[in-house]
Structure formats: structure tokens, C-alpha cells
Structure 1
């Protein structure tokens, strides 16, 4: 049985198909949660909450082919809600969570991502951390593919300027 058929059966109320659907996309959902929450415990909790929310609303999924993007959207929304609620970052800009890597490059990347708006961060996470295709991002966001491409280009240009300002890129 292929992914679309599993999703179709889950939408029709087949609980075993729903469990199979969650298993199919578990890794992508966990990667999304880790990218946002930076903590394995919080990511597992996010997966549980996403599973619960998806189970309650599976009947609302209109197109079985977009089950993965629908699940990722639920996960992203949950993670963003948690970040707002928990105020995971201290006022001085340092990560409040002690599990964040001490690796300088990781910290610099996180600092750069923190300069972006939540929408821009979400776009970067989906495209580069989750390998979500531009057409799927467009479907998730309900915007044209060209808009996704232009926003991605603008966001990458912003990140480039951030690193150039730090002296990370040396133009000889």
C-alpha cells in the first residue's frame, strides 16, 4: 500500500492506517520539532501533541497526497506556539536551553536565523532542514511557487548580509 492509499484510509477513519501514516512521517516530524525546539524531550512531546491533533482532525485533510505537508504544518504550528509560550530565549539573546550545542558554527547559524522573522525562519527550516520541495511549501502556505522562490531568495540574501557584516565572508 502506497503513502497516498494509507492517507486515504486514515482520512476515512481507519485507525491502523492513521498509525501507519504517522510511522511513515515520524522522522520528518521529529526533525522539524528538533529544528524548532532544540531539545529531544520537547520534540518527542511535540510529536505526541501533533499525533493527537492530527488524529482529531484527520477527516479535515482534503487531499491525501499532501498528508506529509499537512502533518508538518501541524507540527510547525505547535512548535511556534510552544516557543511563544515558553519564551525559550532569554532577553539577552542567549539560548535559555542548556542542550544547545556549544559549537561556534552552530551558534552563529542560530544567531543568524534568529535575526529572521518567524515566517522566514519557517521557510528556511522547511526548505533546508526538511528538504520540503518548493511546490509543497507553496501548497502548505497556500501561495504561488514564484512567491516561495522570491521569499526564499530574499531570506537567503538577508542571511548572506548578516554573515558579511560579521566578517565571515572575505571578498578579495
Structure 2
């Protein structure tokens, strides 16, 4: 794969990368940072891509890894004042009830929902991206539907 082809893939995958990052990170600035770092790493490690047909999957996996890296970095204690300010900002944003319910799902379930329902990946592809079995993905999706139904019924 050439750098030009990778650039076209990145441009075509902007929304996908954002949705994946947003499903893991709540802050838009963190999402932007994760995507930017993923793009830089993708260009730097382009030679490690063995099969061009898996380029999009490879790119999404890099985005997910960058999100995890940001999450690890931000495991710190925040003050009560910062937390309250963050809550006020969150309340003022116009997030749908469904988005809020998805955001509060456990991380692995949230990723399955995002990849399967929002990005249109098959169960087999989601299992490959998350390095798990197809039955685990199906179980997570079933659990997500139950939790979302419960959360949205309130």
C-alpha cells in the first residue's frame, strides 16, 4: 500500500475513526488526539501492513490502541470541583439518550455495539478486531441490547 492510498483510506474512514474513539473516550479533544496519533503511527508503520485488504481493520485497531493509551494516561484523580464542572458541561451538551446509554455500557460491550451497529461490521469482523470469539461478540451484543432496553425504559 502506498502512502497516497493510505491517505485516501484515512479520509474515507474519518467518521468511523471518530465513532470508535468517541465510544471509548468521552472528551472530543481526547478523541481528536487519539485519531491524530493513530494517523501518525499508521504512516510510520505502513510497512508492517501485510495485506492491503485488511488496511481499514488495521487502521481501526491502531485508533483503538491509541484510545486505550489515552485512557491509561488519564487514570488520575480529579478534584470534586473539576468533576462538577465536567458534569455541568455534559448536561449542557445535546447528547441523545441512546448515546448516553451506550456510553455507560462496559467498554467491551460498547465497542461491540459501535462496531456492529454503527459501523456495520459483521460478527466475524468484530471478533477479529477485538481478538475474541464470535460467540463472545454475540453474547456481548445480546447483553448490550438488554442493558440498553433497561436504560432507555426509565
TM-score using structure 1 length = 0.67
How many correspondences in the alignment?
152
CA distance in 2: counterparts of 1:145 and 1:95, whole angstroms: 41
Greater than 4 Å deviation, 4+ residue runs: 87-95
CA distance in 1: counterparts of 2:85 and 2:73, whole angstroms: 15
The yes-or-no answer on 1:139 pairing with 2:128 is yes
Unaligned runs of 5+ in 2: none
Higher relative contact order structure (alpha carbons within 8 Å, sequence separation ≥ 6)? 2
Q: State the structure with more CA Rg.
A: 1
In the other structure, the counterpart of 1:110 is 100
The 3 A distance-change label for structure 1 pair 111 and 17 is closer
Q: Deviations over 1:64-99 (max 9, x none)?
A: 222212211211221232234225996888783765
Q: Specify which structure has the higher proportion of helix.
A: 2
Q: Could you tell me which of 41, 64, 77 is aligned with 1:76?
A: 64
In the other structure, the counterpart of 2:17 is 29
TM-score using structure 2 length = 0.73
CA RMSD of aligned residues (A): 3.4
